[in-house]
A and B are shown apart, each in its own frame.
Chain A
Amino acid sequence: MVISLDEDLYQKIFDLASKENVVYTDIRDEDSLYTSIDVIDGKVQTSLSGSEAGIGIRVLKDGAFGFAYGSKDAYKKVFEMAIVSQKVSKKLSKTDIALAPVKAIKDSVKITQKKPSQDIPFEDKMNLILETDKILKDEENKIKSTRTYYFDILRRQILATSEGMEISEERPYTVLFVIPTAKKGTETNQGLGRAGHVGGFELFDEIDIAQRAEETKQRTIKGLEAEKIKPGRYPVVLDGSINFLFAHEAAGHSTEADSLRSAGVLKGKLGKRLAKNFVNLIDDGTLEYVPGFKTRTFGFMKYDDEGVPVERTELIKDGVLKSYLTDRASAAFFNLKTTGNCRAEFYSSYPIVRMRNTFLEASKGMSLSEEEVLQLVNNGLLLKRGGGGQVDSIRGTFNFGTNEVFEIKKGEIGEVCRATTIDGNTLETLSKLLGISNKMADPSANVGFCGKNGQRAQTGTGAGWCAVKVMNVGG
């Protein structure tokens, strides 16, 4: 079952648009497939399969966008709603929207799956998940509960625009999470192991999922038995996953140009120094593979949802803020180039600026080894395996979870400590970076789901370790 171009329908919509003097129209025609299986304590709690289909129509007229969504058979009604939406938008707008110019591309992109997840029998998926969940249990019964959550998505979308753009894309995602919880008295420690990529069920040939589950279990047990960290301020080393988390949550969100049109800590700071000269903040949609690993990064794609080819964007270059992340409207607003960051979760979602693979990287010739990064801190904490985060990009503050913590003593990794959280101020933390290693982490273990305006986006990826002079570490 492959989504096919419905050129007649698109033309009918463009014809309606021309009668309304619309200057630009885009249509996102989607028919995507979903499967998810959630196993808790060795038992399938929920499992579901389904298909999501419909069209989203966006029109630009008189400097204002209108957007509406619905089923394809109701395209006339959807178009009418988009026009009403545009009129309302015009009424509220005090600034005319313009679109940065882009080349009209016709392309068909099918990101391959060696073993399409949609073709794998349900029983086989279920068996793999149940077997993985079993590994999370331990003989000494220190692990009190287990959860293994699997899903696959086949995102199938066609973008057609009145400028002649026509891009059909199939982008598959396959992901598994393992979440063991160790308990001793009233104390608990919840672990998290991830495996995911842009691709199919071959994920489980490329990585050893049993080993990943076993390692997650062992980390969770050790973490429970470890000492808690006294809340306070510590010199820290962030591993590749927290490099990704900080780069994405704290720094990356603050560079999203659509939000910056209103306010933000990085508004008005283009061309300003934010960090030392070895610091680069990268958002890279073109990064398909990381050297040494066979799974695709989670933020890899060919085009964004306006049909703009994705690129490697240097947001901070040698410590200086060089660019924001843009869609066509915000690129025109700030007079910047388009970076290919416009994404919409579903046909029913309003396209907004989102990240792809975001990480901190050292400037050429300034990358350190992991050992050198540890030595920069000398005595402090090594924070590993990010566990989610939240950022307030107006106040410029962030709060992250870390699932694994070690002491650093005299530049060497010491005893394991209990999982904790970190928080701080984005600009302060950027200015306190001491050094970065460019040794990239396993992308399959660094799959992220970013939430913004009620939409989720798949993002990556794990990068190298970095040292920070001081950071707030929670309880």
Chain B
Amino acid sequence: MTNVLPLDEALNYGIKFAKKNNVDQIEGYSNNFKEINIGSEKNIPEIVTGISSGVSFRVVSNNNLGFGFTKTLTKERIESTIKIAIQNAKSKGSDPDFKTLPIPSKKPVTEMKYDKNLDSLTADALADGLADIIQTINDVKGLNYLQGQVFMNTQEEHLINSNGIDIVSKTGGIGGYAAAITTKGLIPNYSFGIKGNPELKDFKYEDISQETIMQTKRAASPHTMNFNKEVPIILEPEASFGLLGGLLNLLVTQLLGNNVATGATPYSDQIGNLITTEDFTLIDNGINPQKVTRSSYDSEGVPKEKTLLIDKGILQTYLLDTYYGKKLGLESNGKSTRSAVFGFGGDPIKSYPSINSTSIEVLPGNATKDEMIKETREGFMLRSLMGLHMSDSSSGRFSVTGFGWYIKNGEIKYPAQGISISGMLPELLQNIDMISKESESMLLADCPYIRLAKVPVTSKKFDFKTRFGLAILKIISTLTGKHPMV
């Protein structure tokens, strides 16, 4: 423990050591990550606080890249990390597609200030916020708080490369979610609300509780039903780009430069072609000031930007970093990420820089949400889907199961559970017939309601035994005032 170097010293030591070992180019990255994560499943809290520091290096040797990381900041461990990264690069052989690590860009840089108020945010304050969310939900008759989380994280990053990039930055944000359950009707159901902001002043705990209450009330008394037809489907914004399985996230995967370069998407060589209906416009906006992913530079030092991906149905470009930009004869549009998505998943220190979306925007259309429902003779409006990760992104084939509402004769009849939809996404995108004027701002996307004209839907009603079992539970809950499943 005595030989541990301070983080910046460890970064510079690694870069010097790599140069001494005659690498052709070197990129060093350090990250000091702090998180406070206050969660609670019903009445049982789960609190995680932590600080994680580390360095990672991309070295260029033999015209190829090697990558290594360590969180043990001793000279010995940094040296072995660099040595393995060099061995790694050399073993791969020369890559004709590799040109260079990024050089300092002449593109305009949008300054994204870090909200210093986040530094003074305490675990105690976050816990008070979560307690308010829980109380507000439980105060609503018929609803029970199920689980939730509020979290804050900050990252102090330093990126240096041998081409002259030297960027120190600090980013962060606050967010959270809550889920509530309702036992109204025969089948219990739950729903959730998610919110997040890069600035403390814009974040309201109440927004999470109100969203959760509203969504759970809408989800109460779901039906199961026998259904096997092709009908219109209205995707709520959450079903398009929600964190928990938005169907159109599959389109974003198909526009990643690495998938385009390897032909693992239907959209290689499709720039300039109409790939959706003409009312569909898709943007990736890395500098959207309202989103927690906002920052001035991407993870390899290229300025972030607002990128028009699909303009009125016509494919304009792909999501690109420096390597795949050059490989495809295009320029990076600042989409290199180190995997950590605010509050969820990956560790930026351990992550090889790769392409990802930053913040997605779909432009609103001309119809109102009510008009979309009114013009649906029979169909569904879906909110949450599961099973998207099993989709085939190379073709866009998917089969997902979800929750939503059954629509008949232009009216929402009831919430419906176990609704499965399947198909080929490229075909469905040619089949968008309505987009709403109303747009919802979600954690990582802004999106309107989108109606797909014809989608195969299957669904099955619970069998008698299951319905009978649920009826027994309902009787118990009526008699005891407490549902056995909750």
Residues of A within 8 A of B420 (CB): 231, 399, 423, 472, 474
Q: Are B466 and A95 in contact (CB under 8 A)?
A: no
Map CB proximity to B onto A52-86 as digits: 1 under 8 Å, 0 otherwise. 11101000000011111111111001100110111
Residues of B within 8 A of A397 (CB): 386, 401, 417-418
Which residue from chain A places its CB closest to the CB of B131 in the assembled complex?
A92
A431/B49 contact (C-beta < 8 A), A48-B67, A71-B71 known: no
Residues of B within 8 A of A183 (CB): 394-395
Tell me how far the C-beta of A223 lies from the nearest C-beta in chain B, rounded to whole angstroms. Answer: 11
Residues of A within 8 A of B390 (CB): 387-390, 399-401, 421
Partner of B399, one of A66, A73, A86, A475: A475
In the complex, A68→B34 CA distance in Å?
11
A259/B146 contact (C-beta < 8 A), A85-B48, A425-B418, A425-B466 known: no
| A410 interface residue per 8 A CB criterion | no
Residues of B within 8 A of A52 (CB): 71, 350
Which residue from chain A places its CB closest to the CB of B130 in the assembled complex?
A92
Map CB proximity to A onto B1-45 as digits: 1 under 8 Å, 0 otherwise. 100100000000000000000000000000000000010111111
Partner of A231, one of B72, B126, B456: B456
Tell me how far the C-beta of B442 lies from the nearest C-beta in chain A, rounded to whole angstroms. Answer: 19
Residues of B within 8 A of A91 (CB): 124, 127, 131
Which residue from chain B places its CB closest to the CB of A91 in the assembled complex?
B127
| B181 interface residue per 8 A CB criterion | yes
Q: Are B72 and A53 in contact (CB under 8 A)?
A: yes
| B463 interface residue per 8 A CB criterion | yes
| B277 interface residue per 8 A CB criterion | no
A81/B50 contact (C-beta < 8 A), A46-B354, A49-B85, A389-B390 known: yes
Within 8 A of A (CB), among B375-392: 386-387, 389-390, 392
| B66 interface residue per 8 A CB criterion | yes
Which residue from chain B places its CB closest to the CB of A455 in the assembled complex?
B345
Q: Are A421 and B47 in contact (CB under 8 A)?
A: no
Q: Are A145 and B262 in contact (CB under 8 A)?
A: yes
In the complex, A350→B394 CA distance in Å?
35
Residues of B within 8 A of A47 (CB): 66-67, 88, 91-92
In the complex, A233→B264 CA distance in Å?
32
In the complex, A85→B35 CA distance in Å?
12
Q: Are B52 and A92 in contact (CB under 8 A)?
A: no
| A454 interface residue per 8 A CB criterion | yes
Chain B interface size range: 35 or more
In the complex, A268→B456 CA distance in Å?
37
Q: Are A122 and B87 in contact (CB under 8 A)?
A: yes
Q: Are B485 and A265 in contact (CB under 8 A)?
A: yes
Residues of A within 8 A of B290 (CB): none
| B336 interface residue per 8 A CB criterion | no
A-B contact count (CB 8 A): 261
Partner of B389, one of A9, A56, A67, A388: A388
Partner of A50, one of B46, B53, B70, B245: B70
Which residue from chain A places its CB closest to the CB of B426 in the assembled complex?
A186
Tell me how far the C-beta of B47 lies from the nearest C-beta in chain A, rounded to whole angstroms. Answer: 4
Which residue from chain B places its CB closest to the CB of A75 in the assembled complex?
B1
In the complex, A273→B340 CA distance in Å?
44
Which residue from chain B places its CB closest to the CB of A74 in the assembled complex?
B51
Map CB proximity to A onto B125-151 as digits: 1 under 8 Å, 0 otherwise. 011001100100000000000110000
Residues of B within 8 A of A44 (CB): 64, 92
| A131 interface residue per 8 A CB criterion | no
Tell me how far the C-beta of B417 lies from the nearest C-beta in chain A, rounded to whole angstroms. Answer: 6
Q: Are A54 and B52 in contact (CB under 8 A)?
A: yes
A70/B42 contact (C-beta < 8 A), A88-B124, A145-B262 known: no
Residues of A within 8 A of B49 (CB): 67-69, 81-82, 84-85
Map CB proximity to B onto A248-272 as digits: 1 under 8 Å, 0 otherwise. 0000000000110111110110000
15 contacts between A and B (CB under 8 A): A43-B95, A47-B67, A49-B68, A53-B71, A67-B46, A71-B53, A262-B44, A267-B486, A268-B485, A387-B390, A390-B390, A395-B403, A423-B418, A431-B465, A472-B458
Q: Which residues of A contact B (CB under 8 A)?
A: 9, 31, 34, 40-41, 43-54, 56, 64-74, 77-78, 81-82, 84-89, 91-95, 97, 122-123, 126, 144-145, 181, 183, 186-190, 231-233, 258-259, 261-265, 267-268, 348, 350, 387-392, 394-395, 397, 399-401, 420-421, 423-425, 427-428, 431, 454, 472, 474-475
Q: Which 5 pairs of residues, A with B, have the shortest CB-CB distance?
A: A399-B387, A475-B422, A50-B69, A268-B484, A401-B390
Q: Which residues of B contact A (CB under 8 A)?
A: 1, 4, 38, 40-53, 56, 64, 66-73, 77, 81, 84-85, 87-88, 91-92, 95, 122-124, 126-127, 130-131, 134, 146-147, 181, 188-190, 228, 245, 258, 262-264, 266, 344-345, 350, 352, 354, 386-387, 389-390, 392, 394-395, 397, 399-401, 403, 417-418, 420, 422-424, 426, 456, 458, 460, 462-463, 465-466, 469, 484-486
